[in-house]
Amino acid sequence: MFREEILERFLRYVVVDTMSIEALADKKHPSFEGEWDLLRMLEKELRELGLKDVELDDHGYLLARVPATAPDIPAVAFSSHVDTADDVEGNHVKPVVNDYKGGDIKLRNGLVIEASANPHLAQYAGSKIITSEGDTLLGCDDKGGIAEIMTAVSYLVKHPEIRHGEVEILFSPDEETGYGMDFFDATRLHSKAFYTVDGGERYYVELECFNAATVKVHFSGVSYHLGAARGRMVNALTMAAAYINALPQAESPEATDGRYGYYCAQTANGTATEMDVTVYLRDFDYENLMRRIDVMKKLATAIEALYIGGKVTVDAKVSYLNMGEAAKKNPKAVDAIFKAGEVLGQPLRTEIIRGGTDGSRIAQMLGIPCPNLYTGGHNYHSRYEWAALDAMAESTGLIIEIIKQWAE
């Protein structure tokens, strides 16, 4: 059930170029014009389904509402983002539908999705696996979620006999840049729970995410002609390198997993006179995140003491908070997921996100629970990305059953 419609929608959405541009995200929103193309396509499709309350605002937030079919049932929301990541090429996607028989999947550009490195593939033998041709990512993050939500909306519209409260749908831009919810007025939402459909592996439900901060560090050196630099020049590049090298390697993304947080030097730009470094901080514990910010400031003081005449400024911004706190205060949202899973025979299990979602921002703004549901995608942000159609169909079924559970 749902497979044909999901596949048709997904193949239509992934070929729209929507790769967001982090370098422009603080200047324009959405950061890439192509995001508007998909947003307008979705706006048109929602109206064609018969929805009257559909609004696409000036910042690229598409909010629509499926009217309640019964009184006194709380409103709930489902959300996905339209942009794709820029870790590898995210535009010019050419999807390939594989009738998977088992074993490795050979992509058309010569890359291979190896079964040995993708043990979850085996469960989908005899089903359909969608990949790109291998020159780009696929875009299941998060066009898989969009296709699943749209298919669920289509089903609800065609089955008005289903008792449910108002269902809000939010499609947002620029989630991958970290600016996804920066311009959204969360008070527009009526919902008591906000479900993002932005996860991965089948049956996984994510209830917690990192607390996150972005730290921008600026290094000002002292410029002199290199032939007369002795005792005068202070090299901002050298200062920045010393700063980055002082970050604990044992607390980096490549050295941590589970609930361990990290420091990650993400970008560095500039010259020997002026340098800018961006560092991502992540921790599941908020107090530890604050400690990490303090470490960054103390390290700046130490670098200034080592490089006399140089200056270091630190600007730290908390990006999002652990959404688990809001879920604990209102367990109804999580209960609805697992009751829905029982009805459908889906063996759901919880996982933590070593990242964040738009839902984490909504939880921070409104204090409502914002769990993250699986989409059926794997190997996100890479050319080895693949999506299982069976899992995508089951995700759509889960969305619909969660809506039904809120009517109980």
Positions annotated as catalytic residues are 83, 175
Q: What share of the chain is helix, strand, coil (3-state, %, to 5)?
A: 35, 25, 40
**Which residues are paired to 387 by β-bridges?**
130, 377
Is residue 184 within 8 A of residue 168, CB to CB? The reply is: no
Give the contacts of 116 (CB within 8 A, at least 6 positions apart): none
Is residue 377 within 8 A of residue 386, CB to CB? The reply is: yes
Is residue 237 within 8 A of residue 277, CB to CB? The reply is: no
The alpha-carbon radius of gyration of the chain (Å, integer) is 23
Q: Specify the residue for token string 């929301």.
A: 77
What distance separates the 2 farthest-apart alpha carbons in the chain?
Answer: 83
Is residue 222 within 8 A of residue 311, CB to CB? The reply is: no
> Which residue, among 396, 401, 388, 400, has the nearest Cα to 1 in the 3D structure?
396
Burial class of residue 148 (count of CB atoms within 10 Å of its CB; 0-12, 13-18, 19+): buried
- Tell me the C-alpha distance between 137 and 141, whole Å: 9
**Cβ atoms within 10 A of the Cβ of 145, count?**
30
- Phi/psi at 38 (nearest 5 deg)? -70, -40
Residue 315 parent element (H or E):
strand 311-320
Tokens of 103: 């074993």
Residue 291 parent element (H or E):
helix 286-306
Tokens of 42: 């979705």
- Tell me the C-alpha distance between 392 and 398, whole Å: 10
Is residue 83 within 8 A of residue 36, CB to CB? The reply is: no
> Which residue, among 145, 131, 151, 147, has the nearest Cα to 198 in the 3D structure?
145
